[in-house]
Amino acid sequence: MAHTPFHELLQSDLAKLEKNLRDLIDPHLETKDHLSLLNLACGRADETGVLAKVLAEKSKSAHIQGLDIRAPEIGQANSRWKKELEEKTSSDFIVHRGDRLLDLQEVGTPDIAFLRHQNYWNDKPVWTAIFDQALERLNEEGLLVITSYFNKEHALASKALEQLGAIQVGSIVNPNSRTLIDAPGKSVDKHLAVFKKG
């Protein structure tokens, strides 16, 4: 049987993410002239085009700021998305620790803090600090959105966010999430949830 090329799998993952994100945040995101999104622990930020589309439906212009500790991935994100985004959306990706977010004055107070495949399970103290500082940075009406690879990790991260004072206002389980063959039990954007500041 022929294998589906990897780029097609990625495209299919992103199409599902786009639909689920729109369904998840649409009821909670006010239309504004300008929206800003902070993509924390963004890696290569493959989902930037999807985020730009969703923001464009709610604003005249948008800025996507991404950060991660991995320099090569941040380099790839910058070179790809400086070319590929439409004019009304700008982007900028930097190497920085999400648990040192409060050191970064230029981030301002984003409308959305986004964490795709958050990794709370892997390092609870660091991810608690990332969640805490993301909530502190967020504007008062802002949304914090997470996606997770598996049930247990999602439940633990949601609980940690609630212990930090966040209120969950929506969630989606992705029934068509692609299983990761090399990571048993994990699948792409299996869970999505949106939180507001308490």
Interface residue with ligand SAM, options 16, 43, 55, 164 (CB under 6 A): 43
Going by the DSSP 8-state scheme, the letter that residue 120 receives in this structure is G
Point out which span in 15-23, 29-37, 63-71, 79-87 binds ligand SAM (CB under 6 A).
Answer: 63-71
Interface residue with ligand SAM, options 28, 58, 117, 196 (CB under 6 A): 117
How far apart are the C-alpha atoms of 192 and 22, rounded to whole Å? 11
Interface residue with ligand SAM, options 10, 14, 56, 69 (CB under 6 A): 69
Point out which span in 7-15, 103-111, 112-120, 179-187 binds ligand SAM (CB under 6 A).
Answer: 112-120
How far apart are the C-alpha atoms of 2 and 197, rounded to whole Å? 47
Please report whether residue 186 would count as binding ligand SAM according to CB under 6 A: no
How far apart are the C-alpha atoms of 21 and 143, rounded to whole Å? 12
How far apart are the C-alpha atoms of 169 and 153, rounded to whole Å? 19
Give which of 85, 99, 89 is closest to 40, Cα–Cα.
Answer: 99
Please report whether residue 68 would count as binding ligand SAM according to CB under 6 A: yes
Task: Report the interface residues with ligand SAM, using CB under 6 A.
Answer: 41-43, 68-70, 97-99, 116-117, 119, 126
